[in-house]
Structure 1
Amino acid sequence: MATVELDDLLSNEQTAAILGLKPNTLEIWRCKGKGPAFIKLGEHPSSPIRYQRSRVMAWLHAHLHASTSSYTVANRSA
């Protein structure tokens, strides 16, 4: 069984800080199916949300661009 280091799981607030966003932006993105993949710790609507640091970093890497002409309007909505 694989173990997860506590440092590997980030709260909504920690993830927002890494991405330079407000925490509620991540909440909105989750509702719209945007942003990095997340983990819901439980079935209850108020169960905590966590993000894996490696997935947040991979998501950031996937959104790197060399210039503004390297992406289209369609890509920006992802």
Structure 2
Amino acid sequence: MNYEALLTRREAASFLAISPRTLELWAIRGGGPAFVKVGHLCRYRMADLQAWTEARTRQHTRDTPSGGVE
């Protein structure tokens, strides 16, 4: 198996150019990237961060996740 390194919340937030607090809130409320629980810690896989980012790529502000226009 190919296991990749798990990123800390601070490292993941840096990659996404957001605050660690935003990631923390998303982990509590939902809507953020998938994470792995290691004991009481949240860790992030780079592949999950990239997939989450790709799923939010739009051509313009009215794009929907399926690629259509609202």
TM-score (norm 1): 0.75
Gaps of 5+ in 1: 73-78
Gaps of 5+ in 2: 66-70
What is the aligned counterpart of 1:31 among 25, 28, 33?
A: 28
Q: 1:49 to 1:66 in 2, by over 3 A?
A: same
- In the alignment, structure 1 residue 49 sits paired with structure 2 residue 42: yes
Task: Find the aligned partners of 2:54 and 2:4 in 1 and give their Cα distance.
Answer: 22
Q: How well do the aligned residues superpose, as a CA RMSD in angstroms?
A: 1.6
TM-score (norm 2): 0.82
Amino acid at match of 2:28: C
Q: Deviations over 1:35-62 (max 9, x none)?
A: 10000102xxxx2211010011000000
Runs of 4+ in structure 1 deviating by more than 4 angstroms, as ranges, are none
Structure with greater proportional helix content:
1
Q: Deviations over 1:12-48 (max 9, x none)?
A: 0011011111101000011111110000102xxxx22
State the identity %.
Answer: 35
Residue 4 of structure 1 corresponds to 3
Amino acid at match of 2:3: V
Please tell me whether the aligned partners of residues 9 and 20 of structure 2 are also in contact (alpha carbons under 8 angstroms).
yes
